[in-house]
Copies of this chain bind each other. A is one copy, B any other.
């Protein structure tokens, strides 16, 4: 393992929005993201906490230990021989997606300024994590499955590898995978080759890439990225007055919805305009309805949900609005199958780490000359 730029094919698209060069963090512009229900591999957003490990597949071993009956070291051939293959369509979303909307309320230093592009959808191929755990035998006391990657990062002067954990029930869910394929292609290095976790419906950080070891334990992982980072602190609590144990260890994702096209600030012809975007409901819940407003939230119309869908995937939506000359504030909000809704304003969920930013998404656009009756004031 040594420093090097992210491997192709990611980043070929010159439109890629690079939020950080080293470690590499990037995603596609929203109109490009919205073009395909299944995100092409070369456009899938990348979240890295360190350099991309370069792994020799022949030498690779997955270690399984802790509260198991038989500690194991498995080669890729061992896995292939022992476990049936499965494919699961799943959207991964970073817990920091849409952090920019929180930063606009109050700065969040030291965290990536993601727009709404830290999300993508793919068909993941590989093995069920539960099948792999069964090879080692889960001891009765085990309650959490700790996952450790090969990627090294540095925080507060210490170097360590990325890690996190899943509750045992989530790890044993038949749709939780160790993936080595993405959309039918071999998993690229930047996405975790040779083997990564895919924990559908959970924040992306739990889908540990470049998986090195699995340790079954009574408690969640004590890795920095489980025990300290990726905790959701009370809204509007300040960093300098926080009780660090008060943060919720993030797991399942909340409701969210985003307008992908037109882009913010667009100037469009007056008349019919197609507005399109994505919506997500965490934990396998369904997107039940998406509403769109063309007047800043005063009135709403239900958008059409696109037919493409899968249990663990985002839902695309679209609506045609008829916009007169003038400035308009477009807003989207969604409701999931459990009747959960989004907060109306980012200030209501602002938190100093900038996670789970899911307020109604608003963009300002101008139709025609912009000289008509304004419904939105700049």
Contacts and interface: CB of A to CB of B under 8 A. Distances in A.
Complex A-B, nearest 3 residue pairs according to Cβ-Cβ distance, in ascending order: A252-B338, A254-B339, A340-B340
Contact of A300 (B236, B255, B283, B289): B236
Interface residues of A, number: 37
Interface of A: 232, 234-237, 243, 246, 248, 250-255, 282-283, 285, 288-289, 291, 299-300, 302, 335, 337-341, 343-345, 348-349, 355-356, 358
Nearest to A248: B288
Contact of A356 (B299, B339, B343): B339
A246 B302 CA distance: 8
Copies per complex of this chain: 2
B248 A289 contact: yes
Contact of A335 (B248, B255, B337): B248
17 contacts: A234-B289, A234-B291, A236-B300, A248-B289, A248-B339, A252-B337, A252-B339, A253-B338, A253-B339, A254-B339, A282-B338, A282-B340, A283-B338, A338-B340, A339-B356, A341-B343, A341-B349
A339 B302 contact: no
Nearest to A247: B289
A300 B234 contact: yes
A335 to B, nearest CB: 7
Nearest to A250: B339
A248 B341 CA distance: 13
A253 B336 CA distance: 10
Nearest to A243: B302
Nearest to A298: B236
Contacts of A289: 234, 246, 248
Given A236-B299, A341-B343, 5 more contacts: A235-B291, A236-B300, A248-B335, A252-B337, A254-B338
A310 to B, nearest CB: 16
